[in-house]
Amino acid sequence: MLDEIIIAGFGGQGILLMGRLIAYAGMLEGKHVAWMPSYGPEMRGGTANCTVIISTEEVASPVVPNPLTLIAMNQPSLDKFEPMVEKNGIIIVNQSLIYRTVNRDDVQVVQVPANDIANELGNLRVANMVALGSYIAKSKSIKMETIFQALEKTLGKKSDKIIALNKEALQRGEKIVTG
């Protein structure tokens, strides 16, 4: 099993947190992982992306020129990374902020209204968890229960209410794929 993922969006959208959670969940499941963040000099509003590799084999390098999966949280990220996704790969699109369709017919596309769902839940900051839930359901690279464990360990100092909200957002994203 191998999944190479690029997660990209604006700074402040929780891009790096998504990557850390995927990597941590992979480790909890006994898989080999690599996580490599990249962000511009601006913290909020600048660009941010990270690469995550989950594998049952050792990971030789965290560099991913052609990911199997792209999670694009904004238009510039889709524009930049869409051409790089491998044939038969997966592109998760935050359709709340991306108004064009994917220009390829050789990949699976999941349209996720991440910001809209986050607003329904009362907190725009969980849009990343909505997209992450859709990724987990579509890729099956890690289990939802394991992401919950990683979330609890990562946000352990936060309130139970915040953890519950993040779990609800993950489940809402999952339902977009599973119905």
Domain containing residue 145: CATH number: 3.40.920.10
Q: What is the mean pLDDT of the chain?
A: 94
Question: Which domain, by its residues, includes 97?
Answer: 2-178
Q: What is the pTM of this model?
A: 0.94
- According to DSSP, the β-strands at 90-94 and 69-72 are parallel
- Kindly state the tokens that stand for 172: 């809402």
Number of helices (H), then strands (E), belonging to the chain: the values are 6, 6
Look at residue 42 and tell me whether its pLDDT is greater than 90.
Answer: no
pLDDT tens per residue across span 129-177: 999 999 999 999 999 999 999 999 988 876 888 999 999 999 999 999 9
Instruction: Say what the pLDDT of residue 63 is.
Output: 86
Helix, strand and coil in the chain, % to nearest 5: 45, 20, 35
pLDDT tens per residue across span 116-140: 999 999 999 999 999 999 999 999 9
Domains identified in the chain, total number: 1
